[in-house]
Structure 1
Amino acid sequence: MGAGAPRGAGGEDTGGRGFGGLRASLSGLTTRGRSFLAAGIAAGLCAYVLGQGELLRVGLLLAALPLVCVLALHRTRHRVAGSRLLSPVRVAAGAEARVQLRVDNVSRIPTGLLMLQDRVPYVLGPRPRFVLDRVEPGGRREVSYRVRSDLRGRYPLGPLQLRLTDPFGLVELTRSFSSHDLLTVVPRTEELVPVRLAGETSGYGDGSRRALALAGDDDVIPRTYRRGDDLRRVHWRSTARYGELMVRREEQPQRSRATVLLDTRDAAFEGAGPDSAFEWAVSAAASTLVHLLEQGFSSRLLTDAGTAVPGEGGGFSSGGQESAEAAGLMMDTLAVVGHSDGAGLSRAYDALRSGGAGTGGAGFGEAGGDGLLIAFFGDLDDVQTELAAKMRGRSGAAVAFVLDAALWAGRPTAVEERLHRLRAAGWTALAVPPGGAFGELWRQAGNAPLGSGAAGGRA
């Protein structure tokens, strides 16, 4: 629930009282209210000059009516609580989210006419407005509206504005609640079929295929004894060494690792909008991450800037609930990712070599660091092609989807030459045509021929 309730105990805003608040409420007089007040003052002056008592009573009535309305609305304004419920807080581009607004009257007197208005970015649609009739003491009113966006991003909702009017239309006061909620619009994802991905190399004899194991060596590092541990797992050598009871950790299967590399260089892409090459790459990277996590891979998102998401544990996701949290973190990152100012892929290369952007994991040239690498490249020149070719590990499978700027713009291109150089280094490299279906390209990557010394993985 969005914290849309006003500050103070019991939904009461304690900061708007006093003479300052009354002066602000007086500014809410409408044209009709100001006219009544002016007419009452004029009638009172005329009654004093002419000595007409009846006219003085009329003037007092005209002047008192808007003032009484100001006092009533001033009290009501600070005794109305508002809240917001956003469901869900994370949606895919083009999908709808539901926003529910609730207004509670916590005072002992009924409210007048209420007008609700929630502030939303123009990308999500028109600003919603609602009119609520009288709310009884202790009563509640709920209204809802829907928002959607075709553009990924993070959009604030709120603050909620409440406008109160009296039955005579003499006063109109506006109340703004301070809190807001965030709607995260993540890239669209496409369901992918499981395929066996493999690299390709040359000059090493016959080709071979090795599946990426989803189980590895037992974790035999001992830990401190905890109540309820089986005494048969006591590690006596560590117990004698540390002077306290130590037990062997439970067997933990080692998950296969996968890295999704997203090229975000501004110089590597042309155009903008939902149909641009960069948005295609972001959506394809999101689809790949979701698919890999569903297949049991320990995955991470890496950009050309060398930053890895999630950032802990070598940059890779863990299992169970932590994997779901890592997936949400990666999707949130893709929701707001933009172009980088980097001119090359050197920082991504260094992150792969070190095993996770300085997090201390195994790199692609070290034992245990081999894993599946799926890259989405923009435009590549000779230097960046050579650097990208070196990113492939010694035995890990590597797949590259190249979004050549000239190909997307319909100009002559040398993308086939770039693909040939990547394939010679062991990559499974595919050129992405303008608006190509990623699911079909994914299947093509799974049907790519194997070269010698290549490793494959069921993905």
Structure 2
Amino acid sequence: MGTDTGEPNEFRESPSRGRWAIAEPPATLREKVHLGFLTARGWGLFAAGAIALLGAFLLGRRELMAVSLFLLVTPLLAAFLLRFGNPALTVTRTFNPPQATTDSSVRVRLHITHRGRSGASIPLSDTLPEDFGKGPEFNYPSRTAAQGAGGSGSWYEYRLRPATRGIYAIGPVRAQVADVFGLAARPAALDAPSALIALPVCEALEPTGIPGEHGSHGQAASNRRLTPDSFEVMTREYRPGDTVRRIHWPATARRGSLMVRQEDYRATPRAVIMLDRSRAAFLSQGAGSEPSLQIPQFTSAPKDSSRRFEWALHAALGVGAYLAQTGFGIDLIDHRGEGVNDVSASGTEEAGELFAGPHATARMQQALAALALEDSGVQRHETARSTLAAALKERMRERGDRLVLILGEPTPEQADDWLEVVGARSKVTVLCVANREAHLFPIISRFRQAGWSAVAVNPKTTLTEAWAGLWHQS
């Protein structure tokens, strides 16, 4: 197959603030009355038939009547057949890399093939989200199209750089399909939209230790008791449906059959990271309200976020990746006690498992990619608090387990609720995100008096600075 390097080779970067739409040109009279099913040639032929029919009626010539009927029916028949026919084009869309990140670009490659005899050149365009503006336009077949056993095919390529995380709907490829005589035309979607997941960037933290943890480099004390390669891991025989990541290769080699890990989570150090995603905490309304950001959700309506929530999510990912590297299994939940995998549209398949092992960071990135602030219809305060308390009690069973709370701007009453829900635990880390962190100093003092490591930050604070401030308190 040929590769078209000239059309289109475009670079599209979405804006970093808000969503915007391309100003559409005013609709023409032909578009307003829905006359777009015939081309100019088709309407000319139809008008000639109408004039011939009028002449046949005035002159009384029967042979002219037959000509007029032919001229009237031919474009209408072409439009009818085109309406119920399908274009013989097949589109394959691939992304390189398969998942994008907000600090890099991704190449979108289209492979379009046609079976049978190729007709005239067909104008095509790929549909992009509003963030990227109007999609690239190109013609099929391309100048370097090659003929193969399965028909002709062309390659097209362009680049995208998403500015926000989420699941973008790329496509479908649209074509203006016409009949062989050029009498009728209609727009047609050649494929379905493809999901492009834009992952948040993970900031690497310096190995300064874990706040509240004493010992060499802050390593988990029970880390040596269970590692993915340890023979002390509880194993069982492979069952259909088990993920390949759980296969324990040393035990498989020893037993001669596939064995999978069955971790004893009571012996595994666990870190529960609670990311508050309530609207009241991160998206203030009324006076002093802050603008909301839109997180794409593929073909569904986008969901809301904010600058402070983006910082909180960035912190949850960075802290989670750091703790996973030190031997902890990460349990990532929201303020209702629900797992992030269960409430995010980009959640991974292993919803009930901890984020642990060499792929923990990549799995957390995917789970957090489409996470947004809570939807409308929230639970009552008492119900939500009791649900969270039960979830924390179930998840945190051992003395070596840790709890990281990433909050917005809690009120004194909410701070008391957190102290009551969490209880007397010495290994609790709190990050509060506010536009003006000085307003949170009384709240931070309450948390520190309870023996917690707590710090207030604003969206301009780097995660490294916040983590260093927490570590100096331990």
- When normalised by structure 1's length, the TM-score is 0.68
> Is there any run of 5+ residues in structure 1 with no aligned partner, and where?
1-25, 201-206, 234-246, 356-362, 451-459
What is the aligned partner in structure 1 of residue 415 from structure 2?
385
1:438 maps to 2:473:
no
Contact 2:234 2:263 in 1 (8 A): no
Select the residue among 184, 190, 207 that pairs with 1:194: 207
Select the residue among 267, 273, 281 that pairs with 2:280: 267
Tell me: CA distance 1:396–1:219, structure 2 relative to 1, closer, same or farther (3 Å). Answer: farther
1:159 maps to 2:172:
yes
Q: Give, in whole Å, the separation in 1 of the partners of 2:97 and 2:468.
A: 32
Contact 2:96 2:107 in 1 (8 A): yes
Over residues 130-177 of structure 1, what are the superposed CA-to-partner deviations in whole Å (9 max), with x where a residue is unaligned? 233577872112223333332333232233222124687533232223
How far off is 1:306 after superposition? 0.8
Contact 1:152 1:336 in 2 (8 A): no
What is the aligned partner in structure 1 of residue 308 from structure 2?
277
Q: How does 1:131-150 map to 2 (within 5 A)?
A: 131-132=139-140, 138-150=151-163
Over residues 61-103 of structure 1, what are the superposed CA-to-partner deviations in whole Å (9 max), with x where a residue is unaligned? 9669857976997898532222322334432335433322222
Select the residue among 411, 414, 429 that pairs with 1:399: 429
State the secondary structure of the residue aligned to 1:354.
helix
How far off is 1:317 after superposition? 2.3
Q: How does 1:52-201 map to 2 (within 5 A)?
A: 77-93=86-102, 95-107=104-116, 109-132=117-140, 138-165=151-178, 169-177=182-190, 179-199=192-212
The one-letter code of the counterpart of 2:448 is: R
Q: Give, in whole Å, the separation in 2 of the partners of 1:208 and 1:288.
A: 19
1:339 maps to 2:374:
yes
Tell me: CA distance 1:96–1:172, structure 2 relative to 1, closer, same or farther (3 Å). Answer: same
1:293 maps to 2:324:
yes
Tell me: CA distance 1:190–1:32, structure 2 relative to 1, closer, same or farther (3 Å). Answer: same
The one-letter code of the counterpart of 1:352 is: L
The one-letter code of the counterpart of 1:117 is: S
The one-letter code of the counterpart of 2:43 is: R
Over residues 266-320 of structure 1, what are the superposed CA-to-partner deviations in whole Å (9 max), with x where a residue is unaligned? 2223323466222221222222233333444311211111112457686522435
The one-letter code of the counterpart of 1:348 is: L
What is the aligned partner in structure 1 of residue 451 from structure 2?
426
Contact 1:76 1:111 in 2 (8 A): no
Q: Give, in whole Å, the separation in 2 of the partners of 1:162 and 1:76.
A: 13
What is the aligned partner in structure 2 of residue 33 from structure 1?
42
The number of equivalent residue pairs is 384
The one-letter code of the counterpart of 1:330 is: A
What is the aligned partner in structure 1 of residue 336 from structure 2?
305
Q: Give, in whole Å, the separation in 2 of the partners of 1:272 and 1:283.
A: 19
State the secondary structure of the residue aligned to 2:390.
helix
Tell me: CA distance 1:80–1:329, structure 2 relative to 1, closer, same or farther (3 Å). Answer: closer
Contact 1:119 1:160 in 2 (8 A): yes
1:316 maps to 2:329:
no
The one-letter code of the counterpart of 2:280 is: A
Contact 2:94 2:110 in 1 (8 A): yes
Q: Give, in whole Å, the separation in 2 of the partners of 1:106 and 1:351.
A: 57
1:216 maps to 2:247:
no
Task: Out of 40-49 and 382-391, give the one that drifted further.
Answer: 40-49
How far off is 1:221 after superposition? 5.8
Q: Give, in whole Å, the separation in 2 of the partners of 1:96 and 1:225.
A: 39
> Is there any run of 5+ residues in structure 2 with no aligned partner, and where?
1-34, 240-249, 285-289, 294-305, 343-349
What is the aligned partner in structure 2 of residue 18 from structure 1?
none
Identity %, equivalent residues: 26
Contact 1:370 1:393 in 2 (8 A): no
1:330 maps to 2:383:
no
Q: Give, in whole Å, the separation in 2 of the partners of 1:278 and 1:353.
A: 26
How far off is 1:390 after superposition? 5.2
**What root-mean-square deviation, in Å, do the aligned CA atoms of Structure 1 and Structure 2 show?**
4.4
